[in-house]
Amino acid sequence: MNELKIFAPATIANVSCGFDVLGLCLDTVGDEMIIRKIAEKGIKITKLVGQDLPMETDKNVAGVAGLTMLEKLDLNHGFEIEIYKNIKAGSGIGSSAASSAGTVWAMNELLGKPFTAKELVSFAMEGEKLASGTAHADNVAPALLGDFTLIRSYTPLDIIKIPAPSKLYATVIHPQIEVKTSDSRSVLKQNISLKESIIQIGNLGGLISGLYTSDYDLIGRSLHDEIVEPLRSILIPGFKEVKESAIACGALGAGISGSGPSIFALSKGKEMAEKVAKTMTETYKTLNIDYDVHVSKINSKGCRIIG
C-alpha cells in the first residue's frame, strides 16, 4: 500500500468544562487528504484546496507534524500530501488539528502502524504548536482516537478515551466572523479563585460520569463553564442568544467550541440536534451574520480511510 485517501475529522475542544483537556470527534464534517509514499526523503505538500494556507512544509501544520514523526523513524523514503480543506481555518472546530492528525495517522497506516494512536498524538501536537503557539492535544487527541478524550496529564502525556452515549449528537454553528486564537487567549485570567475551580472540577467530573453511564440529564447539568466562557463569549456576537435558544429548544447544553467563534450544542437524538440547528440559525439570520451549521453524531473512530 503506497497511497491512502482519508477523512480527517473536525473536533470540538474544551466542551464547556474541560478547558485544554477535553475534546470530542465529529463525524460529518472534516477534511479529505491523500498521502502517498515517494522515493525522496522528507515531506512534500503538493496540493492544497479550499483554504489559503502555506504549502511550505515547515510552515504548514501537516508538514510539521509529519516531519516530527519522521524524526523517530529511519526511512529511505518520504511522503507527499494533498489536502482538501473543508474545515475553515479559525472556525473553532479543529482545522489545524485535522491536518496534523490526518497526516500522522495516514503515514502510520502506510508504514504498518509502528505507533499506537496515543503515540501519534505527540507528533500531531507539534502541528498545533505551529498554529497556535501551544502544543495542546484537546483537538488532535479526539481526531486520532475518536469519541471523547480526556488529557489527564501533559507531562507525561496521559490520554483517556471516553465512549460517547449512542444517542448523543452535536450541533455546531460557525458564524462567519474571525476570532483570532491569540485574542481569545489574551482575554483569559491567569489566576482563578478556589470557588471557580471547585465548580469547574465538579462539572468536569459530572460530564465524564454522565458519558460513561449514558445519563443525558447529568451531561446537560454538567455542560457549564465557570472560567473561560464568561470571558470569551464577549468576542462572539449573538452568543448568549444562540446558547439560550438552543437550550430552550431542548439541547442538553451549549457552549463555545474551542476558542470560537463556533458554538456547539449537545442533544439526545438526531431529530433534536436538527431542531436545535434550525433554532441556532434563526438567531444569526436576525443579526444578518452568515453562518455554516453542522449536525453530527459523535465519531467513535477518528480518522478513517475513504474512497
Say which CATH number the domain at 106 has: 3.30.230.10
What's the CA gap between 300 and 307, in Å, rounded?
A: 19
For the stretch 17-36, pLDDT in tens is 999 999 999 999 999 999 99
Grid cell, residue 120, equals 501519534
CB 300 within 8 A of CB 162: no
Are residues 27 and 88 part of one domain? yes
Query: Average of pLDDT values for 8-12?
Result: 98
Are residues 147 and 70 part of one domain? yes
Are residues 155 and 21 part of one domain? yes
Neighbours of 211 (CB within 10 A): 24
Per-residue pLDDT at 1: 82
What's the CA gap between 140 and 299, in Å, rounded?
A: 13
Residue 182 binned pLDDT confidence (cut-offs 50, 70, 90): low
Is 186 a residue whose pLDDT tops 90?
no
CATH of the domain at 241: 3.30.70.890
Residue 80 phi, psi (nearest 5): -120, 150
Are residues 172 and 155 part of one domain? no
Strand partners, 26: 298
Longest dimension (CA), the chain: 58
Supply the residues annotated as catalytic.
128, 181
Within 8 A by CB and 6+ apart from 220, the residues are: 251, 252, 253, 266
Grid cell, residue 241, equals 442568544
Are residues 197 and 79 part of one domain? no
Are residues 128 and 270 part of one domain? no
Are residues 219 and 84 part of one domain? no
Are residues 191 and 123 part of one domain? no
Per-residue pLDDT at 187: 81
Closest by CA to 289, choosing from 179, 209, 134, is 179
What's the CA gap between 288 and 124, in Å, rounded?
A: 37
Domain that holds residue 224: 168-297
Per-residue pLDDT at 181: 64
What's the CA gap between 13 and 28, in Å, rounded?
A: 16
Q: Percentage of residues in the chain with pLDDT exceeding 90?
A: 90
What's the CA gap between 5 and 36, in Å, rounded?
A: 9
Per-residue pLDDT at 180: 67
Grid cell, residue 190, equals 491567569
The Cα angle at residue 125 between residues 184 and 258, in degrees rounded to 5: 30
C-alpha 166 chain-centroid distance: 19
164: DSSP letter: P
Higher pLDDT, 241 or 181: 241
For the stretch 132-169, pLDDT in tens is 888 899 999 999 999 999 999 999 999 999 999 999 99
pTM assigned to the model: 0.95
The Cα angle at residue 181 between residues 175 and 183, in degrees rounded to 5: 95
Are residues 151 and 254 part of one domain? no
What's the CA gap between 145 and 98, in Å, rounded?
A: 12
Query: Average of pLDDT values for 62-87?
Result: 97
Per-residue pLDDT at 282: 94
Grid cell, residue 15, equals 466542551
Number of domains in the chain: 2
Is 184 a residue whose pLDDT tops 90?
no
**Alpha-carbon separation of residue 93 from 32, 177, 203, 294 (angstroms):** 15, 14, 22, 11
Within 8 A by CB and 6+ apart from 27, the residues are: 9, 296, 297, 298, 299
C-alpha 11 chain-centroid distance: 2
Are residues 279 and 156 part of one domain? no
Q: Percentage of residues in the chain with pLDDT exceeding 70?
A: 99
For the stretch 76-127, pLDDT in tens is 999 999 999 999 888 999 999 999 999 999 999 999 999 999 999 999 999 9
Are residues 146 and 172 part of one domain? no
Residue 5: helix, strand or coil by DSSP? strand
Grid cell, residue 239, equals 452568543
For the stretch 198-227, pLDDT in tens is 999 999 999 999 999 999 999 999 999 999
Are residues 159 and 26 part of one domain? yes
